[in-house]
Amino acid sequence: MQVDLNDKQMADEEGNEHIPIVDELVSKLPVVNGRPYLSCFALTHPDLDHCRGFAELLERVDIGELWHTPRVFREYEDTYELSADARAFRTEAHRRAERSIEVGGDPGSGDRVRIIGYSELFQEGERYYGFPEEDFYTRPGNSIFTLDGNDVSNRFEAFIHAPFKEGMADARNETSLAMQITIGGSTPLRGLFLGDLSYPTVMQVFDETHSHGNEDKLQWNVLLAPHHCSKKVMYEDGSLRQDVMDEFAACQLEPGYIVSSSNEFKGRNESGDNPPHRVARNRYEEIVNTQFVCTGEVSTPENVRPIIFSSTALGIVADGEDYEMSDMAESTLMAAIAAAEGTDSPPATKVGFGRV
């Protein structure tokens, strides 16, 4: 299962530490019927930094099932506002939804799509009237135990927290797919994924979940810092909102890791800087019981590698130090570095699978 994609292998970025993700998936996914097979791709929201490279992935990999929120259908009817990769995702999601309506149920692997959240699109007269809601429509407060038609409840659960019905007209970041994913059997590994949500919506996730007695669905061994470690998760109107930090701390399991999916941190931020924000990292480091890790700092140009969390018989472990990239990804990375170093002027276009 792949949650979002940001294949940002760029020739014009010096000292590149980014793994060519699509190349890695093509090389390391299982092969079914002669092609790499990915059981499920979940898109939290269609911003470019969450779907960059999807068109290439779709071309090179068979994807059994797509997950997304209704925002993909409702937002950006003028397609010029969407990136090429977001348009590719929406086109494929449309195709799959229409196929599901045509067969009146499960269309099979390669055509499945699951819609998560609330939407008026299923009402009579709307575009997706007749979509098989019972099997492929999930509202917040419910769990998913299947992947591409297979019951994996003995080792997988995705509990859906958001988007909320009343938030569907909000800014697109606030309609991100938010979920807790649990993998493993005897030693479950729990990850909390909150997309690009900011403070008010994150607190709504906590409040709604508590009100229904589902506190265990907030627990985490790995917390992916929302919005690439943005301060908007815990600051509002310039003030720290301690309540959200208390909630994060209370839901933390042992061990607990907080991950910033971002470039390396500056020593301090200037007003108006995009994430990652140093002040947000400082707040997270005050509560994390094991380690705060940043993808752009763990992976360096000299040692390009991912952060890997595993559920083992000995417990939850973090590693990745000895990770070996595929020859395909290594070749793409070296070609990009060579292109970047081959001229004194920056290249006019990006190369690799981050093209838009």
Mean pLDDT of the chain: 87
Q: What gap in Å lies between CA 232 and CA 147, rounded to an integer? A: 33
pLDDT category, 352, cuts 50, 70, 90?
very low
Whether the per-residue pLDDT at 3 is higher than 70: the answer is yes
Q: What is the pLDDT of residue 261?
A: 93
**Of 144, 182, 145, 138, nearest to 162 (Cα)?**
138
Co-location of 243 and 257 in the same domain = yes
Let me know if residue 173 belongs to a domain. Answer: no
Q: How big is the chain by its Cα radius of gyration, in Å? A: 20
Co-location of 306 and 334 in the same domain = no
287: domain range?
A: 184-325
Which residues make Cβ contacts (< 8 Å) with residue 331, sequence separation at least 6? none
Q: What is the pLDDT of residue 74?
A: 64
Whether the per-residue pLDDT at 106 is higher than 80: the answer is yes
Let me know if residue 348 belongs to a domain. Answer: yes
Co-location of 227 and 293 in the same domain = yes
pLDDT in tens, 267-279: 888 888 899 999 9
- In the chain, the number of structural domains is 2
pTM over 0.85: yes
**Of 287, 279, 290, nearest to 234 (Cα)?**
279
Q: What is the pLDDT of residue 164?
A: 84
pLDDT category, 356, cuts 50, 70, 90?
very low
Q: What is the pLDDT of residue 167?
A: 53
Let me know if residue 192 belongs to a domain. Answer: yes
Co-location of 18 and 127 in the same domain = yes
pLDDT category, 301, cuts 50, 70, 90?
confident
Co-location of 207 and 115 in the same domain = no
Whether the per-residue pLDDT at 230 is higher than 60: the answer is yes
